[in-house]
Amino acid sequence: MGNIFQITCDGALFNRCLDCFLGKAAYIKNLKQNLADLETELGKLIDAKEDVMREVNAAERHPMMKRLTKVEGWLSRVEAAKSDGDKLIAFGSQEIKKLCLGGYCSKNCKSSYEFGKQVARKLGDVKTLMAEEAFEKVAEEVQPPLVDERPTEPTVVGFQSQFEQVCKCLEEESVRIVGLYGMGGVGKTTLLTHIHNNFLQSPTFNCVIWVLVSKDLRLENIQETIGDLRLENIQETIGEQIGLLNDTWKNKRIEQKAQDIFRILKEKKFLLLLDDLWQRVDLTKVGVPLPGPQNNASKVVFTTRSEEVCGLMGAHTRFKVACLSNIDAWELFRQNVGEETLNSDPDILQLAQAAARECDGLPLALITIGRAMACKKTPDEWIYDIEVLRTSSSQFPGLGNEVYPLLKFSYDRLPSDTIKSCLLYCSLYPEDYCISKEKLIDCWIGEGFLTERDRIGEQKEGYHILGILLHACLLEEGGDGEVKMHDVIRDMAIWIACDIEKEKENFFVNAGVGLVEAPDVTGWEKARRLSLMHNQITNLSEIPTCPHLLTFFLNKNRFQMIPNDFFQFMPSLKVLNLSYSKLTSLPLGISKLVSLQHLDLSESDIEELPGELKALVNLKCLDLEYTGNLITIPRQLISNLSRLHVLRMFGAGHNAFDEASKDSSLFGGGEFIVEELLGLKSLEVISFTLRSSHGLQMILSSDQLRSCTRALSFQCFNDSTSLEVSALADLKQLKMLRIARSEILEELKMDCAGEVRQFVFHSLNKVEIYGCSKLKDLTFLVFAPNLKSIKVTGSHAMEAIISVGKFAEVPEVMANLNPFAKLQNLEVIGAINLKSIYWKPLRFPHLKTMSFFHCNKLKMLPLDSNSAREHSIVIRGDRMWWAQLQWEDEATRNAFLPCFKS
């Protein structure tokens, strides 16, 4: 009997299966028609898209209009539908060929079904997109972006470091106002622009405002209405960026605009960037809320060429935007010259490095000169252009019409013609030259720039002017008591000063350029200030005619004599500098310089002064410092210079004082010079060398000489084994003290049992001890609170710089001492028995260097881990000496190990 198999089929299931089969069949049956419909509808959709795009483009011609997001999405979907539809239409003819039985079936049912399904769905998508096309509007007005990116130069490594420092500073809650200051062309605006653009990616602030202030506040004007107009310009720049600016708002009063700005900004965390400030901007009058915790941690950052403005703006932190290092400067120069030019000849790379050095790290000059040299592909072109840069830089493309005019804004901004003249005067010195502040001011006084009644007042005025020029970033601090002028600022100053149309200046400058012969004197005739200093000139044979010449720098040359008639035609000369020269005697014709007020012979080889100097009746400053070979000053010469205000003789004759004749004022221990000084009623500043206690007593007995003495040298002071230094405390202006070659001197005595306060040396800042082999200590220095430098050489008997034994009877003195609080440099050489500097560790908040050579018994320095916590110092000495040093503790040793330099 066979098996029976039975299937029971539900009616609903059967119907669904039938519908599924018929539906799939429909994709095949309708394929041909759907393809045709797809092509038609797709064409209509593209036409619709073109219509919409025309509307979008018309709207977006207005800068504040932007297409709607849904329109942008629809356009994107249309583009995708067109791409997919075109592909289906392209393959459609192949699929239609597979159809059979009148289009109801296919030779490959599966393939035709899948393709037909895709066509049907895409047709539905296209119809849906057509239905969405009826937009009421395609664009709308949008608010401006939080930060509009500003165009800027790419940063170099040096800028990147400064940029990161400022950005990190802006993260600190306590820092709310930041000043970026530096000389023109150094890249302050570039740095500020990168700070501005940084908030494109990192919107720390919800309102970022940029204001270029210089066009409004570059020049001062005391008229209040003009000042108000400038404030209005700043207000309108801010108002435009926070949505206030319209014709109605423009017509409001300053106070009303300020209220509107304040109302909006007080609710925001804003960053206000002010570029190129030349004076204080009163943020309150503008309407800007002063940044603080109550103002959502808002910040203000500004750039200026004046450090003084940083103070006036109340900056919590100020950054000096400095010139680039040599490495970074070369990289910036290289980028602007281009590798093609640098590789065009093997010699160009070295020449390009020389050209880059002429820019002295100033980015504006590096970019300008680099771009100008980008097309120069032969060494001859580079050699010629480098020579132009060194001798007549204003003729170099881009410097005279782009760089110097920009830097000249700082010059024009100086508050007086006197200060402008003082700045230009600095260009008489060579490139990279450290200029003594004191000697520079002496020259300014000699020229008549300064107007105070007495020398002290003029010196104070001179230091005030130096402060203005330093704060304006037109000068830089050099070494101790020195300033420098940036090379490009110097070139700019010469460009101004050599303008033949400005007869008031008219400089002739060939300083430090390697001359071996003096330039043709016919070119000197119109000069008012002439500098040939720091060359190799060996001969001055021509006689110049310089009727207008006021200053003549001939110092640091190699000539040994000057013709007697050389100065015959310089009737107006006021300042003559012959220092650091090989001259052994002055020409007799120097008596023709009847207008001369300042004569500098310091550190020259001069051996005698001629009696003809008596004719210089207007001479106010005579500098003979460190003229070691000087043996003859005719008697009564100095006393005849009745208008003399300054006489500097520190170190004069120290090499040959035994050779001085009885007819010389230098004969003896200094008493003859002192006697002549007593008759000079105008004398205000003196420095000189003494060789006996008698000369010292003569000075101490004169109120005038006590108040005048600035520097004093005791040379071969061998008439006593002790010197009562307490008496020197009466020299209230004494800044420098030297004791040299005093071989029998054992003690510098000071009466500590008396009233110590009266013995304080307030002005003393430099002490030098040379060749005093029996001197035991320098304990009196604990009473010099402003001491900056100590140098001791050849003091074989010295066991301590400060001896604790001197204070054994007055312990209260020990308790109140705070020595070396301002000491910067300590150098000890050949103190073979030295065991102690001070008996306990000290704080050295300003110390820069300590040097010890041939001091092998010195086992411990007055240092602990707190001695120089705020800064690093350099300790120099022999390696063996360093290895045997003992330390207060391990922390002190670890703190100072990195400071040693062999």
CATH classification of the domain holding 171: 3.40.50.300
Q: Are 298 and 429 contained in the same domain?
A: no
Over residues 110-123, the pLDDT tens digits come to 666 777 777 788 78
Q: Are 290 and 172 contained in the same domain?
A: yes
pLDDT of residue 767: 96
Q: Are 377 and 409 contained in the same domain?
A: no
The answer to whether 144 touches 239, Cβ cutoff 8 Å, is: no
Q: Quick one: average pLDDT of 494-502?
A: 74
Q: How many domains does the chain have?
A: 4
Q: Quick one: average pLDDT of 759-781?
A: 91
The answer to whether 829 touches 796, Cβ cutoff 8 Å, is: no
Q: Tell me, what CATH number does 82's domain have?
A: 1.20.140
Q: Quick one: average pLDDT of 253-282?
A: 91
pLDDT of residue 92: 63
Q: Which of 136-145, 674-683, 791-800 has the lowest mean pLDDT?
A: 136-145
Between 554 and 203, where is the model more confident?
A: 554
- CA nearest neighbour of 657 among 631, 676, 634: 631
Between 307 and 135, where is the model more confident?
A: 307
Between 512 and 135, where is the model more confident?
A: 512
The answer to whether 827 touches 863, Cβ cutoff 8 Å, is: no
The residue segments making up the domain with residue 384 are 326-391
d(C-alpha 672, C-alpha 685), whole Å: 18
d(C-alpha 690, C-alpha 667), whole Å: 11
Q: Give 312's pLDDT tier (boundaries 50, 70, 90).
A: very high
Q: Are 133 and 251 contained in the same domain?
A: no
Q: Are 406 and 458 contained in the same domain?
A: yes
**In the predicted model, what is the mean pLDDT of the chain?**
85
Q: Could you tell me if residue 241 is inside a domain? A: yes
CA torsion through residues 714, 717, 722, 723, sign: negative
Q: Quick one: average pLDDT of 388-401?
A: 85
Q: Could you tell me if residue 162 is inside a domain? A: yes
- CA nearest neighbour of 867 among 899, 839, 892: 892
Q: Could you tell me if residue 210 is inside a domain? A: yes
**Over 80: is that where the pLDDT of 146 sits?**
no
pLDDT of residue 17: 39
**Over 80: is that where the pLDDT of 88 sits?**
no
pLDDT of residue 70: 85
Between 460 and 152, where is the model more confident?
A: 460
Q: Could you tell me if residue 709 is inside a domain? A: no
d(C-alpha 839, C-alpha 841), whole Å: 7
pLDDT of residue 100: 67
Q: Could you tell me if residue 755 is inside a domain? A: no
d(C-alpha 428, C-alpha 409), whole Å: 21
Over residues 727-769, the pLDDT tens digits come to 888 899 999 999 998 888 988 887 655 555 556 888 999 999 9
Q: Quick one: average pLDDT of 354-377?
A: 92
Q: Are 84 and 23 contained in the same domain?
A: yes
Q: Are 252 and 196 contained in the same domain?
A: yes
Q: Could you tell me if residue 219 is inside a domain? A: yes
Over residues 592-628, the pLDDT tens digits come to 999 999 999 999 999 999 999 999 999 999 999 999 9
Q: Considering 481, 505, 529, which residue would you say is the last residue of a domain?
A: 505
pLDDT of residue 222: 37
CA torsion through residues 221, 222, 225, 228, sign: positive
Q: Are 439 and 376 contained in the same domain?
A: no
Q: Considering 107, 141, 175, which residue would you say is the last residue of a domain?
A: 141
Chain centroid to CA 233: 30
Q: Give 665's pLDDT tier (boundaries 50, 70, 90).
A: confident
pLDDT of residue 751: 67
Beta-carbon contacts of 494 under 8 Å, excluding residues fewer than 6 positions away, are 393, 394, 427, 507, 509
Q: Are 122 and 185 contained in the same domain?
A: no
Q: Give 72's pLDDT tier (boundaries 50, 70, 90).
A: confident
> Rounded to 5, what percent of the chain is helix, strand, coil?
40, 15, 45
Beta-carbon contacts of 617 under 8 Å, excluding residues fewer than 6 positions away, are 594, 641, 642, 643
**Over 80: is that where the pLDDT of 308 sits?**
yes
d(C-alpha 56, C-alpha 71), whole Å: 9
Q: Are 167 and 307 contained in the same domain?
A: yes
Q: Could you tell me if residue 514 is inside a domain? A: no
Q: Could you tell me if residue 599 is inside a domain? A: no
Q: Are 130 and 211 contained in the same domain?
A: no
Would the pTM count as exceeding 0.85? no
Q: Tell me, what CATH number does 473's domain have?
A: 1.10.10.10
Q: Considering 391, 418, 444, which residue would you say is the last residue of a domain?
A: 391
Q: Are 298 and 412 contained in the same domain?
A: no
